[in-house]
């Protein structure tokens, strides 16, 4: 988590940095800061507790001059969120300033060593230790800044994306990464650094994705911006000083994708985008006229899937829920045993991984630290890694053997919505591809699902048409302290996802359960005060879930049911119903999750919660 941004060029850096921080605020928003070297060579650092707007207010009457600077928006790991712990951090002499995204795991040992050398620390952060170490190295080993950064990073255990300023070298910006993302944007005699491309896109579409253990040194003459020594102003080396050749890539991102487009919140915009995003996810892959699905990541590696004795799916949060749905689809269509693992548990529990296993990693951001570590572990054991990611060029797709991008555009609301449906779509397509190739799915079933995939965007449109009804239900239930969500089969993970959406943005306690499990404990919670959301579309276990609803009603629970259009049984016993169009069972989650996203959204708005940036959370969890 945390967002970092940097600028060096001919324009005033401050407005560019602040705008960049706003774009990155989804990564963390408990405090923010900026460092600038002004025309007189003074290194100014301004920091504020709270969001970027509070930093702007604080810096309003300060000297924000300078054409080089770095800035940071924080999600606290070491040290509580306050202005002292906010980044940038000065070095002891205040010659250097640093920003950092990640965790320096051995900071305590490094700090003890530096303390013995007389260094003092103002903050509780691991980051301040790193800037002190760089300065200590610079001073005691008589080396330039780049070398000091390289030598300091050789001593660091942990994850980092950093950027460093040195007031003695106002023409130089240094950055490095390991385990946390870092992108460099190349403009016209100006350069940008950021955790992702969103702060860069309006200035340039030329980017370099920095790799692990690489150090980038950008050096330009401030006065005339002439390239120093007629060599490239941008130099990339490893932390061991091996020179690397920068690979410039073209950014595929548009500015309009980063705007709210008239919606009050990014989350609502992203919910309403789903008919289009799912169309984009299928484009070039699903050919309804020819009744065919073509996933290049699968086609190129068919044998790995066909020979797999087992598929392990690893992910976190909402992506893990998509993985659970995939378990149903892959086992049904491809008849390969599937295990779905929380990445954070999997990576630490000495899992049995075989060379013929296929590991599917699911991640919207492609940067989730636990998922990245889980696939690295599986890779070491020889498993084949296939990833489903949204952010193009992120770390997870880059370390995977193959994969499939979801192509839904930037998801900015912290609560994942359009990324989830696209993950389910991609995984269902993959299950169908494997099943067809293995001959474990009948032609009739394959064709019916392929045909139905093409109908999904229009059917989601119909569900979105009930937004007003769902917001009315939200008004009725926004008082509740607790919710239960129930579902069965393909819709059990939807119940989990609905509960997660509600708790993360409205701070209402919510639990998701397989509906039949209710009578093994949670039924004790049922009372008039307890809203129960039941996901009950027409499917194989429909009658069973009707009985589960009866059990809730017998105990005076209040039921909000998501049912198939024209439903006759549940609609008679549930208190409130939201209808979704009929579809094949494996695709029902793509429809049933929509009302749950909207319900959570409207309840959070009614409660006055910060929907796009809920407390304590961050969009991209790059710490374990």
Give catalytic residues, as residue numbers.
2, 619
Nearest to 394 by CA among 249, 492, 494: 249
Give the residue with the Cβ less far from ligand AGP, 49 or 400: 400
CB 125 within 8 A of CB 99: no
Q: Please give the sequence-ordered ranges of beta strands (E in DSSP) within 531-602, or none if there are none.
A: 531-536, 558-564, 576-580
The Cα–Cα gap between 70 and 487 comes to: 48
Residue nearest to ligand AGP (CB): 317
Give the residue with the Cβ less far from ligand AGP, 178 or 321: 321
CA atoms within 13 A on the CB side of 221: 9
CA angle 356, 357, 358 (to 5 degrees): 120
Instruction: Write down the least CB distance from residue 604 to ligand AGP, Å.
Output: 12
The Cα–Cα gap between 66 and 604 comes to: 41
Question: Which two three-digit tokens encode residue 168?
Answer: 């003695």
Radius of gyration of the chain (CA): 26
Give the residue with the Cβ less far from ligand AGP, 95 or 265: 265
Contact residues: ligand AGP, CB under 6 A = 316-319, 363-365, 368, 371, 414-416, 504, 620-621
Instruction: Write down the least CB distance from residue 176 to ligand AGP, Å.
Output: 23
Burial of 575 (0-12, 13-18, 19+ CB in 10 A): middle
DSSP 379: H
Give the residue with the Cβ less far from ligand AGP, 317 or 403: 317
Instruction: Write down the least CB distance from residue 341 to ligand AGP, Å.
Output: 13
> Which residues, listed in sequence order, are joined to residue 48 by a DSSP beta bridge?
32
Nearest to 312 by CA among 401, 384, 254, 372: 384
Give the residue with the Cβ less far from ligand AGP, 103 or 234: 103
DSSP reduced 3-state for 269: helix
Question: Which two three-digit tokens encode residue 409?
Answer: 């555009």
Nearest to 379 by CA among 365, 392, 398: 398
Instruction: Write down the least CB distance from residue 266 to ligand AGP, Å.
Output: 12
DSSP reduced 3-state for 214: strand
Instruction: Write down the least CB distance from residue 317 to ligand AGP, Å.
Output: 2
Contact partners, residue 33, CB within 8 Å, separation at least 6:
45, 46, 47, 48, 55, 71, 72, 74, 83, 86, 87, 88, 99
Bridge-based pairing of strands 558-564 and 531-536 is parallel
Give the residue with the Cβ less far from ligand AGP, 504 or 567: 504
The Cα–Cα gap between 349 and 343 comes to: 10
Give the residue with the Cβ less far from ligand AGP, 25 or 579: 25
Instruction: Write down the least CB distance from residue 420 to ligand AGP, Å.
Output: 8
User: How many other CB atoms sit within 10 Å of the CB of residue 528?
Assistant: 9
Instruction: Write down the least CB distance from residue 321 to ligand AGP, Å.
Output: 8
Instruction: Write down the least CB distance from residue 344 to ligand AGP, Å.
Output: 10
Give the residue with the Cβ less far from ligand AGP, 397 or 531: 397
The Cα–Cα gap between 428 and 431 comes to: 5
Instruction: Write down the least CB distance from residue 374 to ligand AGP, Å.
Output: 11
Give the residue with the Cβ less far from ligand AGP, 38 or 368: 368
CB 401 within 8 A of CB 599: no
Nearest to 511 by CA among 526, 524, 523, 498: 498
CA atoms within 13 A on the CB side of 586: 25
DSSP reduced 3-state for 537: coil
The Cα–Cα gap between 141 and 307 comes to: 55
């Amino acid at each position: 988590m945390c967002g970092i941004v940097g600028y060096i060029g001919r324009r005033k850096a401050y407005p560019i940095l602040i705008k960049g921080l706003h774009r990155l605020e989804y990564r963390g928003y408990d405090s923010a800061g900026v460092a600038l070297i002004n025309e007189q060579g003074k290194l100014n650092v301004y920091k504020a507790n709270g969001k970027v707007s509070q930093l702007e207010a604080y810096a309003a009457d300060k000297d924000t001059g300078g054409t080089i600077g770095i800035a940071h928006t924080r999600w606290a790991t070491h040290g509580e969120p306050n202005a002292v712990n906010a980044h940038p951090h000065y070095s002891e002499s205040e010659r250097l300033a640093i920003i950092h995204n990640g965790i320096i795991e051995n900071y305590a040992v490094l700090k003890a060593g530096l303390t013995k050398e007389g260094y003092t620390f103002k903050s509780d952060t691991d980051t301040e230790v790193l800037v002190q170490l760089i300065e200590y190295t610079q001073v005691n080993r008589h080396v330039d800044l780049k070398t000091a950064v390289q030598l300091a990073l050789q001593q660091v255990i942990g994850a980092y994306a950093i950027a460093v300023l040195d007031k003695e070298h106002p023409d130089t910006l240094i950055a490095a990464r390991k385990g946390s993302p870092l992108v460099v944007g190349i403009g016209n005699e100006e350069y940008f650094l950021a955790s992702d491309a969103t702060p860069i896109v309006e200035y340039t579409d030329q980017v370099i994705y920095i790799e692990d253990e690489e150090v980038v040194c950008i050096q330009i003459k401030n006065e005339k911006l002439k390239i120093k020594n007629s060599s490239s102003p941008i130099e990339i080396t490893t932390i061991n000083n091996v020179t690397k050749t920068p690979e410039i890539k073209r950014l595929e991102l548009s500015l309009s994708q980063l705007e709210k487009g008239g919606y009050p919140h990014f989350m609502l915009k992203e919910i309403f985008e789903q008919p289009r995003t799912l169309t984009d996810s299928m484009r070039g892959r699903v050919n309804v006229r020819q009744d065919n699905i073509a996933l290049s990541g699968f086609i190129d590696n068919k044998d790995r899937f066909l020979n797999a004795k087992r598929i392990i799916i690893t992910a976190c949060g909402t992506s893990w829920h998509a993985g659970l749905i995939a378990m149903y689809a892959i086992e049904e269509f491809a008849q390969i045993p599937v295990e779905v693992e929380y990445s954070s548990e999997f990576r630490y529990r000495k899992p049995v991984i075989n060379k013929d296993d296929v590991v599917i990693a699911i991640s919207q951001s492609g940067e989730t630290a636990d998922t990245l570590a889980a696939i690295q572990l599986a890779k070491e054991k020889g498993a084949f890694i296939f990833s489903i990611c949204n952010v193009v060029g992120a770390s997870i797709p880059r370390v995977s053997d193959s994969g499939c991008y979801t192509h839904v555009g930037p998801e900015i609301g912290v609560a994942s919505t359009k990324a989830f449906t696209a993950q389910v779509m991609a995984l269902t397509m993959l299950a169908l591809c494997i099943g067809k190739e293995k001959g474990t799915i009948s032609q009739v079933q394959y064709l019916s699902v392929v045909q139905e995939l093409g109908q999904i965007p229009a059917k989601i449109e119909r569900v979105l048409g009930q937004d007003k009804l769902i917001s009315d239900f939200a008004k009725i239930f926004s008082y509740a302290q607790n919710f239960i969500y129930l579902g069965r089969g393909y819709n059990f993970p939807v119940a989990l996802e609905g509960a997660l959406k509600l708790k993360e943005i409205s701070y209402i306690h919510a639990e998701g359960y397989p509906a039949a499990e209710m009578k093994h404990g949670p039924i004790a919670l049922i009372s008039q005060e307890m809203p129960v959301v039941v996901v009950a579309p027409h499917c194989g276990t429909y009658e069973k879930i009707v009985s589960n609803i009866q059990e809730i009603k017998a105990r005076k629970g209040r039921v909000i049911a998501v049912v198939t259009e024209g439903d006759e049984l549940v609609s008679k016993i549930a208190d409130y119903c939201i209808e979704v169009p009929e579809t094949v069972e494996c695709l029902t989650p793509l429809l049933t999750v929509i009302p749950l996203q909207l319900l959570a959204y409207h309840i959070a708005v009614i409660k006055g919660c910060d929907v796009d940036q809920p407390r304590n959370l961050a969009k991209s969890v790059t710490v374990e």
